[in-house]
Amino acid sequence: MTVENIPNVRTCITPLEEDIKVYEQDRVGEIPDKKFFNKNRKKIDEDVVIVGSGPAGLMAAITAAKQEVPSILLVDENHLFGGQLIKQSHKFFGSEEEKAGTRGIDLAIELMEQVNSFKNIKSMLETTIIGCYNGKNNHKLIAVKRLTKGDQLYEINCKSVIFACGAMENMLAFPGNDLPGVYGAGGVQTLMNVYGVKPGKEVLMIGAGNVGLIVSYQLLQAGVSVNRVVEILPKIGGYNVHAAKLRRCGVPIFTSHSIKEVYGKGKVEGATVVAVNNSFKEIPGTEENVTCDTVCIAVGLTPSIRLLEQIGAKTEYIAEAGGHVAIHDSSMQTTVKGVFVAGDSSGIEEASTAMIEGQLAGISAALLLGYDKEAGKLKKKFRKALDGFRSGPFGLKPKTCKEKIACCWDGGINY
């Protein structure tokens, strides 16, 4: 939306201010203040810059710091460190080493405390990397601190950069999908668990993957009624334990069902759901009216790779990754030397694997700059841990994703 005359602002992550002017925008925005870009830029030099402070970025910073890289900068556009973790009030699965049994919100604090204990890590919040360029021996990143105020432009030069930018929620096309009350499930989770705001009174959840199931349960915990969960596939995609918790609370899960439309005057007043056949085509006559004031869309995530594309990293569409991803080797280095990727940006997976990939990227970036404290041994350990996570039935998709990425690497790699 356009905020205070600044176009293309992501209002979902922009803090509200008294008398703030927010307008809908149905056009390509124009640069409002051309002088802004000519303002004095502050120049910064760093060894390693990490874009994104989710589990992948935090672990990348900690690992590079342990290798004694002299100057590391961790940048995030949010006003809190932790990425998705800051809204995850449930306990994590996985191995003990990757903090299974810990709540995401506690993990974010724990990792941030570790980051703060290293003198060689600096951090910048509310700072968005808006551009990146690949130089001969270094990389240049352009950052803006608090875009709505147009405060400060930074030019950051670094020897190595790790993109741990996470992912974006997918949307669905159906009549009424732009009515107030239609949300991405991650947005609802942020509203409830970060800001303590209920999205509505009665929710229809679309998607029975882990995100749809977990957010449905958290809605119930917040005192919001969940009418039902509908899932277009013939079976539930998330863990059974999450589905069982919902069913115990009386929330039905309708597989082979989808949303047909949402209706209401100026806001959501109800929705129509419909059964689908094996080819995902609507079955006429199965339409059902659902009373709700909120519709949550939990139909997957797409890796955030725009900066990686801009810096020239080779990307490919890989369905198992959730969309286009940067091709990378087993050290998480992309096709551009010194440019690394980790976490959901390298293929949608989990916080646990994002943490390990972050460690792998952090250690590899350090090694490239000549800092080596048992790096080879540690890399082996991290790769083994990733293989372990990707070995079970739920690991099949990410395993296939990484195998396909390896095949796209020119010359092939031993993944």
Ligand X SMILES: Cc1cc2nc3c(=O)[nH]c(=O)nc-3n(C[C@H](O)[C@H](O)[C@H](O)COP(=O)(O)OP(=O)(O)OC[C@H]3O[C@@H](n4cnc5c(N)ncnc54)[C@H](O)[C@@H]3O)c2cc1C
The Cα angle at residue 55 between residues 301 and 344, in degrees rounded to 5: 25
Nearer to ligand X, 164 or 274 (CB): 164
**Token pair 């900068």: residue:** 73
Nearer to ligand X, 274 or 297 (CB): 297
CB of 68 to ligand X, least distance (A): 23
Nearer to ligand X, 165 or 276 (CB): 165
Footprint of ligand X on this chain (CB under 6 A)? 51-57, 75-78, 83-84, 88, 92-94, 128-129, 164-167, 186, 189, 210-211, 214-215, 304, 307, 343-345, 349-352, 354
Nearer to ligand X, 48 or 276 (CB): 48
Nearer to ligand X, 205 or 215 (CB): 215
CB of 322 to ligand X, least distance (A): 10
The Cα angle at residue 142 between residues 138 and 148, in degrees rounded to 5: 165
Torsion 334-337-339-343 (CA) sign: positive
Nearer to ligand X, 260 or 383 (CB): 383
State whether residue 244 is helix, strand or coil. helix
Burial pattern 193-217, b for ≥16 Cβ within 10 A else e, equals bbeeeebbebbbbbbbbbbbbbbbb
CB of 339 to ligand X, least distance (A): 14
Q: How far, CA to CA in Å, does 393 sit from each of 154, 237, 399, 409?
A: 45, 12, 10, 26
Measure the CA–CA gap between 320 and 367, rounded to whole angstroms.
30
Beta bridge partners of residue 202, listed in sequence order: 225
CB of 312 to ligand X, least distance (A): 17
Measure the CA–CA gap between 31 and 274, rounded to whole angstroms.
44
CB of 205 to ligand X, least distance (A): 11
The neighbour count for residue 337, using CB atoms within 10 Å, is: 11
Measure the CA–CA gap between 74 and 272, rounded to whole angstroms.
45
Nearer to ligand X, 84 or 227 (CB): 84
Q: What's the token pair of residue 354?
A: 């994002």
Nearer to ligand X, 67 or 88 (CB): 88
CB of 125 to ligand X, least distance (A): 9
CB of 242 to ligand X, least distance (A): 9
On the CB side of 369, CA atoms within 13 Å amount to 26
Nearer to ligand X, 176 or 200 (CB): 200
Cβ pair 124, 81 in contact under 8 A: no
CB of 214 to ligand X, least distance (A): 4
Measure the CA–CA gap between 78 and 127, rounded to whole angstroms.
7
Pinpoint the alpha helices (H) of 4-144. Answer: 55-66, 104-116
CB of 146 to ligand X, least distance (A): 12
CA 296 to chain centroid: 17
Measure the CA–CA gap between 214 and 193, rounded to whole angstroms.
12
